[in-house]
Homo-oligomer: A and B are copies of this chain.
């Protein structure tokens, strides 16, 4: 289990201290932290709790939400991301995961139709090409600050299901294109099985990411159908869905990735389960479906 990390979103109802204690009880060496649980007790104390337990912080989730098309929104996003970079540095993790945001404003379709009765051409809310360019611009603005803090901006491609409302980076190849202008120790990528398992270009892009030294995190969970009422929460335990972990894990291994493997699950059923039982299950699944190919 020397590379297995508990992402704290998986045990959503545990505080940071509870999650750290749970990881220790299960013999895990690392945790992936979410900022809400860090901020709850303050970043200095969070850092002390994790270090005191002898754990690594495999990543901090999450910066991002960079797609605003208004100056105030862009300034607010940069400010928030600078804070996230400082938090990552204080926590002693090199990897700040970035969920870059969806189409701007993101009201419902009815509100959009009302706001833009003339339709698409004058409608910045639907201009995906421009939203993606804004992500590239904001990343460029954050790179010097991240580099100065020894923190890597880790671009997370999200499943295309979330392109409208959560992340306009939809493939690993696109994330690597965005990363390419910058040193690999300052801009990296996540390989999250839920988001990328379907990609016909995945083998090639994982190899490319590895060759460039940009794989900053390997996150595992399964893709469940039918989708849950809130689609985001359709991430299941490894082995419960459709992902071919043997194949994808082998590609990640062959790409030279030697870092931690985070288990990050969003699912009401998992969240309703006792935390220790969830950690036991994820460790068992990891040992059965991931570790042999790592």
Contacts and interface: CB of A to CB of B under 8 A. Distances in A.
Contacts of A199: 160, 170-171
Contacts of A120: 239, 244-247, 289
Contacts of A230: 226
A222 B112 CA distance: 13
A40 interface: no
Contacts of A160: 159-161, 198-199
B127 A247 contact: yes
Nearest to A222: B109
Nearest to A242: B164
A227 B227 contact: yes
Contacts of A289: 119-120
User: How many copies of the shown chain assemble into the complex?
Assistant: 2
Contacts of A241: 109, 164
Contacts of A245: 119-120
A146 to B, nearest CB: 23
Interface string A2-15: 00000000000000
B170 A103 contact: no
A244 B197 contact: no
A64 interface: no
A173 B197 CA distance: 17
A200 interface: yes
B161 A109 contact: no
